[in-house]
Amino acid sequence: MSRTKTSKAWLHEHVSDQYVQKAKADGWRSRASFKLIEIDDRDKLIRPGEVVVDLGAAPGGWSQVAARRLKGNGRVIALDLLEMPGISGVDFFQGDFRDEAVLEQLEAKLAGDRVGLVLSDMAPNMSGIPISDQARVMHLAELGLEFSRNWLKPEGAFLVKVFQGHGYEEFVGQMRKTFKLVATRKPDASRDRSAELYLLGKGLKA
């Protein structure tokens, strides 16, 4: 079956994208690496000696950035529903974060260590039904926030991908109840036409 005009346009945009080209040239797993690089350059989230948890890690762009910036001093634990080829300095395991057994496995890997940074670039498989897709996106964000409440150090941070739409304002409210500082980030590597935003929470409230 021939490609549709829409898929051809996306493929052309993707191949010609400056961040896709730069990712290949610089050895990054995906263009998403530049999103985290820009945010971390601004907010100094990845600190040597800390534990970083990367939820929705595949294909590994964010885990790569975290591992390189920890410089061998710290731990990166990465999780995704999809397979991900190994990355030096990253402890990856495959599973669905929505499953209680997978959450227990993640907690076992922490072995009681508190987390300095939780990254969540999780996104569900999109159905094309906006209301349903938005609900699933926000559900994943809420699961990431719940994990952060339970496992972050008091001075830790949570960076999560969300999409503006139904449930967004309520989730921002939950973030503000949880963190001393809450900010939005829209890195240059995030496509202009994309509705995605990143919410950053820093410093747990007592």
> Catalytic amino acids?
161
Give Cβ neighbours of residue 83 (< 8 Å, ≥ 6 apart).
Answer: 58, 94
What tokens appear for 114 in the block?
């508190």
Distance CA 152, CA 136 (A): 24
Give Cβ neighbours of residue 178 (< 8 Å, ≥ 6 apart).
Answer: 145, 148, 149, 201, 204, 205
Distance CA 189, CA 48 (A): 25
Burial of 3: CB neighbours in 10 Å, binned 0-12, 13-18, 19+: exposed
The torsion region of residue 204 among left (phi > 0), alpha (psi -120 to 50) and beta comes to beta
Distance CA 147, CA 149 (A): 5
